Copies of this chain bind each other. A is one copy, B any other.
Amino acid sequence: MPVPLLEIPEIARLEAGQGLVRIPDQQDVPFTPRVRAIVDTAEFRRLASITQLGLVSRIYPGAMHTRFEHALGVFHNALRYLAQLSRDTRFRAAVDVHSAEVLLCAALLHDLGHWPFCHPIEDMSLAELPSHERHASEFLTPGRELAQVLESEWNVAPAEVLDVLAARTDSTPLRIVRSILSGPIDIDKMDYLERDSLHCGVPYGRNFDKNRLIQSLVLNEAGDGLALSYKGKTAAELMVFARYVMFGEVYWHHAVRSATCMFARAFYELRSGLDLHELLQHTEADVIHELRERGRGTRAEPLLEGIFGPRRRIYKRVLEATLHQNRALHDQLSRRPFEFLVRTSARFAEVLSAKLGIALSPCDILIDAPPGHREIEFKVDIFFPKEQAYRPLQEVSPVVRALAGTQFDDYVKRVRLFAAPQVARSIAAIPDLTELLAQSVLDLQPE
């Protein structure tokens, strides 16, 4: 019985070893003419000039991998997911070849709307900032090369791809396709955990038994999204845990957060003079170049030069609080607007100036705190074939339950105070630093 999904050329070539691009670690990505046509457009090629992890490379020097490489990895996962799910009769009935090909395009293009240093910039929630979706849609404007390639080589309308990346219409196949691209066990996460781990040189994001996970993929009870059969439960726990560890050791590593806060604050300082719409279309090297030019002679200069300049000067951590170490302080500062953190650190710089008898600039002190959105993607069902029952992963895994909800964010994402290197030692030596900070918050916002 022929399975049309398995005859999609890129899926058919998955194991053929012909016409492929090799990416770490030893992944062979099928590279048919129509894949090559997308990859060789200017719009896609741009991803080769944006690193996946931005400022992380200041701490983990190996983390120079690009969104180009990541996109190929996500595409490869898409092929494997489709090959696996094509064994499922409900999936085959719901997702036809065209929908699958739209997914393949969306997998390759899922980061099209990204820009250099995307996450720190977004976490500021600046009003001027275009949405990813609007940003992506520009690169897919009819008439641009990429739009033409999609239509002529793939018979896919750019709007179809955009509809996967950000829901506009609703249908069962679209829900399924979206849950493959974005969800608790999506092809994006499955790639970046491994890839970031590999290039950083740490073991934490690998080894979550990816093969087993893929082999367990099924549809959920409603038939409109991914679930896992029971034999993949352990692998799912491993993946959730791997993500938790990667947050603690890499993404929210204290020095990574210090560099991130420095960048965010500098960007905030310069924001009014920037043409965001244009800037965000540039390569990472160009964004750095432009920010450093703009920063020259401003308060942002030492911040930008410290992370991008010829000499690295990363701010030092002088205080750190988890929810459990200092709940009061954590609650005062978590999930507040960026602008509130800026005002608080300015106020606190005044307090410290007085206390220490030295003149601190408002940018000498940076407060880091968990942003508003939470990491909540643990909601996947586990299918028990004997009982023909679906149960939430959180219900059947104590570990996932522990990591879900507040705990993941609250342990991994901390409130931290960073200070410029030349004043860090003096500040860290202040005995009642925590109380002073708490008071500064209250000064600004009397209860």
**Which residues of A come within 8 Å of B, CB atoms?**
1-2, 15-18, 21-28, 39-42, 45-46, 48, 51, 57, 60-62, 64-66, 68-69, 72, 83-84, 87, 145, 198-204, 206-209, 211-212, 214-216, 231, 234, 237-238, 241, 244-245, 248-249, 285, 309-313, 324, 395-399, 401-403, 407, 411
- Whole-angstrom CA separation of A411 from B80 in the bound complex: 31
Which residues on B sit within 8 Å (CB–CB) of A245? 234, 237-238
Nearest B-chain residue to A284, judged by Cβ: B285
The contact of A26 among B27, B203, B237, by CB within 8 Å, is: B203
- Whole-angstrom CA separation of A69 from B56 in the bound complex: 13
- Whole-angstrom CA separation of A2 from B199 in the bound complex: 38
The answer to whether A207 and B200 have CB atoms under 8 Å apart is no
Nearest B-chain residue to A209, judged by Cβ: B203
Which residues on B sit within 8 Å (CB–CB) of A231? 17-18
Nearest B-chain residue to A245, judged by Cβ: B234
Q: A87-B16, A234-B249 are in contact. Are A244 and B69 (CB under 8 A)?
A: no
The answer to whether A65 and B66 have CB atoms under 8 Å apart is no
The answer to whether B83 and A15 have CB atoms under 8 Å apart is yes
Which residues on B sit within 8 Å (CB–CB) of A208? 203
The answer to whether B84 and A216 have CB atoms under 8 Å apart is no
The contact of A40 among B25, B238, B311, by CB within 8 Å, is: B311
Which residues on B sit within 8 Å (CB–CB) of A16? 84, 87, 215
- Whole-angstrom CA separation of A245 from B25 in the bound complex: 17
- Whole-angstrom CA separation of A211 from B324 in the bound complex: 28
